[in-house]
Amino acid sequence: MPKDEFEFEDPMELVSIPMPGAAAEIEREMAKCLAEEYLRMGHTPEEILAMFRDPFYSVLHNLCRAMGEDEIRKIVTQALAGWPSAVR
């Protein structure tokens, strides 16, 4: 049951932390993970690319702006290649 009171020691609180490595590597890995996740949810590559283009999906859109649509397209294609042909 949801509570109205905020707890400072909430173990489920979202906390961001810096990741080691170059920003480009981190962005690429994040884009890859997100593309794989949306594929697992049943989205087509075209739908995923549309989400990367759409400012409503701020994380995806910022990755697309930082990396370029061609790079995002490659990442989605590579993520799809890891799936069995029956799923594609």
pLDDT band at 21 (very low <50, low <70, confident <90, very high): confident
What count of residues does the chain have? 88
Closest C-alpha to 78, from 52, 43, 50, 39? 39
pLDDT at 9 over 80: no
Report the percent of the chain where pLDDT is more than 90: 62
In one-letter notation, the amino acid at residue 4 is D
Instruction: Select the more confidently predicted residue: 62 or 22.
Output: 62
pTM of the model: 0.73
pLDDT at 88 over 60: no
pLDDT at 35 over 60: yes
CB 49 within 8 A of CB 72: yes
